[in-house]
Amino acid sequence: MSGRMSGQVSGRMSGSVDASAISTRLGEFVATTGFDDLDPAIVERAKKSILDLLGVTLCGSRSESAAEFERYVTAQRAAGEATVLGAGRCSSAYYAALLNGTFAHATELSETFNRAVVHPGNVVLPAVLAVAERQRASGRDAIRAAVVGYEVLIRAGLSLGTAWMMDQGYHPPSAVGPLGSAAAAASLLGLEPDAAAETLGIAACLTPSTLAGAFRGATVKELFEGYAAATGVLAADLAAQGITGVAEWPRDWYRAVARRHDAEVLIDGLGSRWKVGSGGLRTKTRAVAAMATPTLDAVQEILAEATIRPDEITSVRVESARRVTIGGVATPPTVVAARASVPFLTAFALARQDEFLSDPYLVRVLTKDVLEAPEVRRLASTVDLVVDEEIDRAFEEGWPPAFAARVTVTAGGATHERYVDSFPRTANLSWDDLAAKFRAITSGVLAADRAERLVERVRKLDEVADVRDVLTLAGS
């Protein structure tokens, strides 16, 4: 895909396409898209996404609040239909999707489609894996459903634009997430077009969620995308039983929650111009909120070329896209909030250099004790976040989008500056790079031999007759 992809959206449903037509077209897309309709490159990308999600979820099963969420699900005594990754047991498809999506989201390490402000893997894939296991679906069926769900979710995010998050305070990945997980679940259940459309109409009635919890340290934030994944399972199961949703949900949902939007993005080129294959997906390589990644990459480059004593640092300047200001809380109260705080993360990298460099994915060194470390708190107060209009335009409007930051550190009378665009490196990691990430973040959760077998099984997922054969390896 080439050319300009604008982040600006209108305040109405434009053109001649109406809500009923959008709903009908999406239902047809969900119900009729087959595995053979997918380009091999998209199939390959989907398999990479599934491997990444499995690793991130297993890692997240050991997160700060994982045990509390798991106790809640255990108390429900739900049927053992699907694997809860990292827990060594099964639950219903609904609760398996809930927990697996929660575990994945807790890490801040899952892939993202920056322009759409969504994390498709956290939402779509827990639903896919849970329903596929329950239905004893094949790997090809799971891949097809994953791609369908990704496509719907990415388009939903693109239809809203960044302003929806920045100005209105919604959490886009979970707010629009049920549309993607519902599409994927409906695909796996083999629902007819009308029932698939009803599935989306049901999901639209059960969303959105707000952004506040992500930056105020509330651990319920970890549940956001697990809830979105489970909501899609619920919506498809209800539609399969004949429950109806809002038929013209695109009109009502957008009017209720989005001041500016362009709902035509949902169906423009649907099935022929694939957003999931556009190159906009980015694999995360650090367990932090998205906009902290280029900042930390720039800090790492500075540390590679200069010796900087933390006690000599007098100022730190971070210039990036407007979204960087969302993560402006300098003294996060919890690890959850710390992963979203650009000043804190920048200060941590500079004050605890050995720890920062020893854990490249940042899955182990960000602990509660670091939150109160005086040297980190002091440096965090010196970090100045600045919106760079050029970087912002390249991020929101250019294609491929820049994912960049410029960091300037003043220490001991010297100034060190680096500009880094992290997007090219992370847009489509190789299998070797993904496998290396998988091994690193699952060590201590999954035995090494099982990890290797799982990598190879997912790599050949389109040859797997029953998805349960994959999830048996992923269970621990």
pLDDT digits (tens, 9 = 90+) for 312-341: 999 999 999 998 888 788 999 888 889 989
Which residues lie closer than 8 Å to 391 by C-beta, 6 or more apart? 319, 320, 321, 402, 404, 405, 406
Through-space distance between the first and last CA atoms of the chain, rounded to whole angstroms: 40
Give me the amino acid identity at 112. T
What span, in angstroms and rounded, lies between the C-alpha atoms of 269 and 155? 11
332: DSSP letter: -
Most confident among 10-14, 163-167, 372-376 (mean pLDDT): 372-376
What span, in angstroms and rounded, lies between the C-alpha atoms of 328 and 411? 22
Burial of 325 (C-beta count, 10 Å sphere; 0-12/13-18/19+)? middle
Helix, strand or coil, per DSSP, at residue 410: strand
- CATH assignment, 19-282: 1.10.4100.10
CA neighbor of 107 nearest in space, from 286, 334, 356: 286
What span, in angstroms and rounded, lies between the C-alpha atoms of 399 and 353? 34
pLDDT tens, residue by residue, 145-157: 999 999 999 999 9
402: DSSP letter: P
Span 352-366, average pLDDT: 96
Q: What is the pTM of this model?
A: 0.92
What dihedral angle (degrees, nearest 10) is formed by the CA atoms of 298, 299, 303, 306? 70
pLDDT tens, residue by residue, 81-125: 999 999 888 999 999 999 999 999 989 999 999 889 899 999 999
Domain boundaries, the chain: 19-282, 292-425
Q: Where are the strands (E) in 311-433, listed by range?
A: 313-320, 383-387, 404-411, 414-421
Q: Is the pLDDT of residue 10 over 50?
A: no
What is the homologous superfamily of the domain 292-425 according to CATH?
A: 2-methylcitrate dehydratase PrpD (3.30.1330.120)
292-425 has the same fold as 19-282: no
Span 30-46, average pLDDT: 97
Cβ contact 281:158 at 8 Å: no
Q: Where are the strands (E) in 20-161, listed by range?
A: 82-84, 89-91, 112-113
% of the chain surpassing 70 pLDDT: 95
How confident is the model at residue 323, as a pLDDT? 87
Angle at 386 between CA 383 and CA 388, to 5 degrees: 145
How confident is the model at residue 336, as a pLDDT? 84
Which residues lie closer than 8 Å to 390 by C-beta, 6 or more apart? none
